[in-house]
């Protein structure tokens, strides 16, 4: 469903990678690995359409992602380094607003369920500035729980700042998404063994 051909990336006159090819069918996990500065985040941002590739094409169901535009943006969920969590808002408000920005309709029940699932039930109505780094990451991840209808998940370092329990919760969320035919593209430095029907790996050289 998602494929890219001879993809190249240049950042500030430096060529990070060239000739990257990949074809991802349903239920496929793509693990992008590589040292710091090898272009993992750039690759993920290209797949979102935030960054234009120096060369190559990215296709979603056979069509250029830029030509699809808003149609493509309705197909995936992206979690970047910064999770878009506002200090002034509570966990519940953050989740509600980020879901509505992504055009996902949620009600109080699904909102509470997503927060409770990540162990934030007791903290749902506290301003996020009072939460720890890991808890804020959980708030950002809770949006994935509401994004099951989006076939493609693009996750940049989803396990950063999480404790063992939260890593496991996130892992099972990713696994169930893959089981239901979703595609997950992720980068990580941690050794988290995600069970997937099909696994592909890209190793970026520094």
Partner 1 sequence: MSELSLSGTLHSLAQRDLMIAFRRRADVLTTVFFFVIVASLFPLGVGPEAALLRSMAAGVLWVAALLASTLALHRLFAADHADGTLEQMLLAPQPLSLLVLAKIAAHWLTTGLPLVLVAPLIGLQFGLNTAEFPVLLAALLLGTPTLSLIGAIGAALTLGLRGSGLIALLVLPLYVPVLVFGAGAIEASAAGLGAAAHLSVLGALLLFTLVFAPWATAAALRIAVE
Q: Under the rule (CB under 8 A), what is the footprint of partner 1?
A: 48-52, 70-71, 73-74, 76, 78, 80-89, 93, 96-98, 100-106, 127, 146, 148-149
**Minimum gap (Å) between residue 193 Cβ and partner 1:** 28
Taken in order 88, 89, 91, 94, the sign of the CA dihedral is: negative
Quick one: 47 or 178, whose CB is closer to partner 1? Answer: 47
For 15, half-sphere exposure in the C-beta direction (CA atoms, 13 angstrom radius) is 8
β-strand partners of 7: 20
**Minimum gap (Å) between residue 180 Cβ and partner 1:** 13
**Minimum gap (Å) between residue 165 Cβ and partner 1:** 24
Q: How far apart are the first and last CA of the chain?
A: 28
Rounded (5°) CA angle 77-13-45:
0
Quick one: 25 or 101, whose CB is closer to partner 1? Answer: 101
Quick one: 156 or 178, whose CB is closer to partner 1? Answer: 156
């Amino acid at each position: 469903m998602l494929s890219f051909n001879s993809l190249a990336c240049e950042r500030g006159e430096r060529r990070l990678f060239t000739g990257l090819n990949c074809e991802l069918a349903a239920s496929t996990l793509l693990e992008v690995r590589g040292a710091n500065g090898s272009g993992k985040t750039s690759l993920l941002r290209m797949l979102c359409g935030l960054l234009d590739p120096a060369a190559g094409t990215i296709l979603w169901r056979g069509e250029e992602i830029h030509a699809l535009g808003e149609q493509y943006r309705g197909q995936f969920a992206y979690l970047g380094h910064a999770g878009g969590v506002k200090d002034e808002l509570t966990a519940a408000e953050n989740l509600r607003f980020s879901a509505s920005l992504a055009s996902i309709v949620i009600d109080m029940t699904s909102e509470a369920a997503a927060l409770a699932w990540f162990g934030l039930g007791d903290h749902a109505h506290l301003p996020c500035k009072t939460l720890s780094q890991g808890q804020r990451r959980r708030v950002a991840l809770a949006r994935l729980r509401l994004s099951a209808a989006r076939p493609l998940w693009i996750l940049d370092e989803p396990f950063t700042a999480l404790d063992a329990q939260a890593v496991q919760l996130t892992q099972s969320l990713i696994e169930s998404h893959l089981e239901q035919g979703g595609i997950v593209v992720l980068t990580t430095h941690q050794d988290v063994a995600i069970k997937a029907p099909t696994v592909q790996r890209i190793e970026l050289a520094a």
